[in-house]
């Protein structure tokens, strides 16, 4: 008897739960009936009628525990960030007067009524930094460097007797036989790899022999030549040092020089020759150097430049078919801007 009562109670409770669930689903379907097409998370309604497909579990117990994923018909109209997926998640502050110079109340009007100020040019104009970065101090790409060249000049000529010397004799000779040189240059730094260099130099070339050199009917003991040269060089830089104060480079270019040689005999008398040659000659400069940036605008360096000529009369005489050459040792003082 007790078992029959318990069974009837269980059946009655189960029937009540089924009726409650069917009633809940029918109410939700009636709220959205009449729509042409609408989607819910968990349901899909099609046409004027409705047919829904359960995409995920959303039963009575989930709703009872507050874990329902069902969306109601009012949620798409909500202005809440939680419901509206089309609104940006990121906060965008309203325009302020600080972003619109000269504006009052954010309207851009100043002074009399009806007048407006177009400050877009002011807003979009970049302002220079308060301090120059260390990278800009060292590289200065796209900038010019103007400077001075001061140093010594050396020759390889017949009267000097410096042609064909070994390294030791060559170095020993040029420590005692040299002149002075100086000039100006303009250097344009294009990028990490290349730079252009334009300039002019004055060089005093001279040499004296221990024993006189027989030239025709004359004995020549020494010569003096004043050189004016103009050059244009392409510099090849080490890109690994482009972000440091140091700059190491090699160069090659082309140039022309003006030569005015004078030769002197044993008694220091001026000797004239009958050789005919042009005083304006081309040459090919090449060499290398380095520099270091001391301050934001000042750069100090050293450069060794060889001048390869196709000229026999750098010393005023011709003894063989070997061309005369000269080279310059120069200290550089440059200013960038």
Q: What is the pLDDT of residue 94?
A: 60
Number of structural domains (the chain) is 2
Same domain membership, residue 163 and residue 274: yes
Spatial distance between the Cα atoms of 251 and 210, rounded to a whole number of angstroms? 36
Q: What is the pLDDT of residue 50?
A: 41
- Supply 171's token pair: 């170095």
Same domain membership, residue 276 and residue 149: yes
Closest by Cα among 314, 332, 16 to 155: 314
- The answer for residues whose C-beta is within 8 angstroms of residue 157's C-beta and 6 or more apart is 163, 205, 207, 223, 314, 315, 324
Where is the domain boundary, 77, 97, 112?
77
Same domain membership, residue 168 and residue 289: yes
Flag whether pLDDT at 97 surpasses 80.
Answer: no
Burial 224-237 (b: 16+ CB within 10 A, else e): bbebebebebebeb
Each residue of 220-230: pLDDT tens digit?
888 999 999 99
Same domain membership, residue 283 and residue 156: yes
Question: What phi and psi values does residue 11 have, to the nearest 5 degrees?
Answer: -60, -40
Spatial distance between the Cα atoms of 289 and 301, rounded to a whole number of angstroms? 7
Comparing 283 with 109, the larger pLDDT belongs to 283
Is residue 277 a part of any domain in this protein? yes
Where is the domain boundary, 58, 77, 96?
77
Flag whether pLDDT at 74 surpasses 60.
Answer: no
CATH number of residue 203's parent domain: 2.40.160.20
Where is the domain boundary, 26, 58, 77?
77
Instruction: Reduce the secondary structure of 71-104 to three states and give it as a string.
Output: CCCCHHHCCCCCCCCCCCCCCCCCCCHHHCCCCC
Spatial distance between the Cα atoms of 289 and 174, rounded to a whole number of angstroms? 19
> Any idea of the CA torsion for 264, 269, 270, 271, to the nearest 10 degrees?
-70
Is residue 190 a part of any domain in this protein? yes
Is residue 96 a part of any domain in this protein? no
Same domain membership, residue 287 and residue 189: yes
Is residue 86 a part of any domain in this protein? no
Q: What is the pLDDT of residue 38?
A: 42
Flag whether pLDDT at 148 surpasses 90.
Answer: yes
Same domain membership, residue 168 and residue 45: no
Place of tokens 């009806």: 114
Positive/negative CA dihedral, 306, 145, 202, 234? positive
Is residue 288 a part of any domain in this protein? yes
Is residue 130 a part of any domain in this protein? no
Same domain membership, residue 303 and residue 184: yes
Looking at every residue in the chain, the average pLDDT score rounds to 75
Each residue of 154-180: pLDDT tens digit?
998 888 777 767 667 777 777 777 899
Positive/negative CA dihedral, 209, 211, 213, 219? positive
Q: Is the pTM of this model over 0.75?
A: no
Place of tokens 């379907």: 29
Is residue 264 a part of any domain in this protein? yes
The residue segments making up the domain with residue 35 are 2-77
Each residue of 258-308: pLDDT tens digit?
998 999 988 888 888 767 889 999 999 999 999 998 988 899 999 999 999
Give the SS3 label for residue 194. Answer: strand
Q: What single string gives the DSSP state of each residue in 213-266?
A: EEETTEEEEEEEEEEEEEEEEEEEE-GGGTTSSEEEEEEEEEEEEE--EEEEET
Is residue 99 a part of any domain in this protein? no
Same domain membership, residue 332 and residue 248: yes
Same domain membership, residue 168 and residue 54: no
Question: Residue 144 in contact with residue 196, Cβ under 8 Å?
Answer: no
Same domain membership, residue 182 and residue 48: no
Each residue of 176-222: pLDDT tens digit?
778 999 999 999 988 888 999 999 999 999 888 888 888 878 888 88
Comparing 16 with 107, the larger pLDDT belongs to 16
Closest by Cα among 244, 151, 260, 247 to 197: 247
Same domain membership, residue 310 and residue 186: yes
Same domain membership, residue 312 and residue 194: yes
Q: What single string gives the DSSP state of each residue in 289-310?
A: EEEEE-SSSEEEEEEEEEEEEE
């Amino acid at each position: 008897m007790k078992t029959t009562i318990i069974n009837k109670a269980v059946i009655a409770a189960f029937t009540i739960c089924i009726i409650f669930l069917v009633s809940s689903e029918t109410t939700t379907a009636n709220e959205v009936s009449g729509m042409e097409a609408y989607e819910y998370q968990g349901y899909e309604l099609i046409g004027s009628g409705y047919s829904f497909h359960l995409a995920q579990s959303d039963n009575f117990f989930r709703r009872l525990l507050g874990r329902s994923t069902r969306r109601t018909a009012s949620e798409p109209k909500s202005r809440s960030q939680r419901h509206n997926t089309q609104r940006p998640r990121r906060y965008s502050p309203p325009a302020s007067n600080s972003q619109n110079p000269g504006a009052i109340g954010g309207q851009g009007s100043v002074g009399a009524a009806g007048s407006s100020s177009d400050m877009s040019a002011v807003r979009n104009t970049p302002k220079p930094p308060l301090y120059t970065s260390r990278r800009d101090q060292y590289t200065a790409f796209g900038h010019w460097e103007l400077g001075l060249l001061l140093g010594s000049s050396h020759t390889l000529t017949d009267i000097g007797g410096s042609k064909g010397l070994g390294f030791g004799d060559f170095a020993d000779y040029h420590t005692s036989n040299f002149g002075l040189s100086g000039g100006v240059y303009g250097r344009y730094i294009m990028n990490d790899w290349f730079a252009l260099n334009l300039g002019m130099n004055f060089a005093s070339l001279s040499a004296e022999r221990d024993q006189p050199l027989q030239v025709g009917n004359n004995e020549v003991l020494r010569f003096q030549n004043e050189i004016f040269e103009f050059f244009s060089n392409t510099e090849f830089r080490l890109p690994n040092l482009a972000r440091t104060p140091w700059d190491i480079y090699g160069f090659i270019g082309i140039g022309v020089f003006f030569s005015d040689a004078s030769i002197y005999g044993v008694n220091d008398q001026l000797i004239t020759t009958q050789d005919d040659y042009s005083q304006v000659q081309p040459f090919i400069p090449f060499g290398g150097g380095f520099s270091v940036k001391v301050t934001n605008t000042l750069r100090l360096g050293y450069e060794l430049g060889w001048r390869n000529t196709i000229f026999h009369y750098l010393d005023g005489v011709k003894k063989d078919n070997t061309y005369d050459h000269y080279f310059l040792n120069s200290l550089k003082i440059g200013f960038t801007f």
